Amino acid sequence: MLFIERFQRKTRENPQGHMTAIGHRAGPAARHLPDPRSKAPDPGFPLIDGPHYYDVLAALHEILTPEWYFEIGTNRGGSLKVCPGKFVAIDPEFIFKTFAMGPRAEGHFFQLTSDDFFAQDFLGRTGIRPALGFLDGMHLFEFLLRDFIAFERRAAPGAMAILHDCLPFDQAMTEREWDGRKTRLWTGDVWKTLQILMRHRPDLQFDMLDAWPTGLVLVRGLDPENRVLPEVYDAVVAEFMATDIGRFGPEAYYGQFEIQSSFSAIEAMRAKGRAGPAAIQTET
């Protein structure tokens, strides 16, 4: 979570497990909450005005009920708070102020980089196979791509990965180095990771949600046996290192997919989930 929290609107708008219609994509009766940044998107970039991403994560936990949850980029613990069950949390520096284990049966904290964590193969050694993973570590595309590759390899078959910050609303926040004089929020260039996944993994299913402030991408149908991304990793990193979203074109990037209302997507998943959590891990 590398955005500055004092510039957030209310940390969450809804009680655990509930969500109201927020944002212009959620229909005419939806609430439109003010954005304290008071900044319109750059030309070619979308308005991301759905419910706070913590609310969306909370709803996903309620619907999917994963036995194990995995998170990279825990930092202050805001996103981990909405996990009610067993978890593995990774961050180079935990800064907890209010997080408490509460009734959670088990949790593992690793204060180190995600590369170092995966090198230890904790998940492989323990047999923990997370069904839900939130990947919000270093905001550089090659890091997120490595995190996705490593998570998929140790995830439960058909697991869901959630990518943060892949829907930036201006170019300044996508720079590879964060300049606080130019932007209050920093997504880095992780949008490139989504572009790479869409190109090289057509077997995966993607849902781009308007979760405030910089979107969530749900990636479903993970396959621990798939080796396409490790094979192309060096080539795609070299290719995408040489571009930025200005040269690529925000219209070209956003023209490839539809950003969904988080509220509507969650309601659809909730309805489908009444048949059991496994029914919504993949769609046909």
Residues 6+ apart with CB under 8 A from 215: 48, 53, 164, 165, 166, 167, 208, 209, 259
Q: Which of 2, 38, 58, 24 is nearest to 173 (CA)?
A: 2
Predicted local distance difference test score (pLDDT) of residue 15 = 53
CA angle 155, 57, 127 (to 5 degrees): 20
Which residues, listed in sequence order, are joined to residue 220 by a DSSP beta bridge?
205
Positive/negative CA dihedral, 85, 132, 47, 146: positive
pLDDT of residue 39: 74
Q: What is the pLDDT of residue 276?
A: 47
Helix (H, G, I), strand (E, B) or coil at 134: strand
- Secondary-structure class of domain 14-274 per CATH: alpha beta
Rounded Cα gap, residues 170 and 46, in angstroms: 9
* Chain-centroid distance, C-alpha 212: 11
Q: For residue 186, what is the DSSP state?
A: -
Domain-wise residue ranges, the chain: 14-274
User: pTM of this prediction?
Assistant: 0.91
Rounded to an integer, what distance in angstroms lies between the CA atom of residue 138 and that of residue 187?
9
What is the mean pLDDT, run by run of 10 residues, along the chain of 284 residues? Answer: 38 59 90 72 95 94 96 96 97 93 96 98 98 98 98 96 97 92 90 98 98 96 97 98 96 98 95 62 53
